[in-house]
Amino acid sequence: MARQEIRVSDAGLLARAPSAALVLSAITSVQLGAALAVSLFAWVGPGGAVFLRLTSATVALSIVWRPRVRGRTSGELLLAAAFGAALAAMNLSFYGAIHRIPLGIAVSLEFVGPLTVAVAGSRRRIDLLWVSLAAAGIVALTRGGTHSLSGVGVGLALLAGCLWGAYILLSARVGRAFERGTGLALAMCFGSAFLLPVGVIAGGTHLLEPRSLALGAAVGLLSSAIPYSFELEALRRIAAHTFAVLMSLEPAMAALAGLLVLGQNLSLRALLGIALVVTASIGASGVTRAAPIEV
Tens digit of pLDDT per residue, the chain (295 long)? 444 444 444 435 666 778 888 889 989 999 999 999 998 999 999 999 999 999 998 898 888 888 888 888 999 999 999 999 998 999 999 999 999 999 999 999 998 888 887 777 677 788 889 889 999 999 899 875 545 789 999 999 999 999 988 888 888 788 788 877 788 889 989 999 999 999 999 999 999 999 999 999 999 889 877 886 687 677 667 776 677 778 888 999 999 999 999 999 999 999 999 999 999 988 887 644 444 443 3
Task: Supply the DSSP symbol for 100.
Answer: T
| CA atoms of 192 and 129, how far apart (whole Å) | 39
CA nearest to 48, candidates 209, 221, 206, 188 = 206
> What SS3 class is residue 262?
helix
* CA angle (100, 50, 203) in 5-degree steps: 85
- CA atoms lying within 13 Å on the CB side of residue 29: 21
- Give the SS3 label for residue 146: helix
Q: Give the separation between CA 55 and CA 195, rounded to whole angstroms.
A: 9
Largest CA distance in the chain: 56
Half-sphere exposure of 290 (CA within 13 A, CB side): 18
The phi and psi torsions of 270 (rounded to 5 degrees) equal -65, -40
Of the candidates 90, 101, 132, the residue with the CA atom closest to the CA atom of residue 115: 132
Q: How far apart are CA 38 and CA 30, in angstroms?
A: 13
Residue 51 and residue 200: Cα distance in Å, rounded? 9
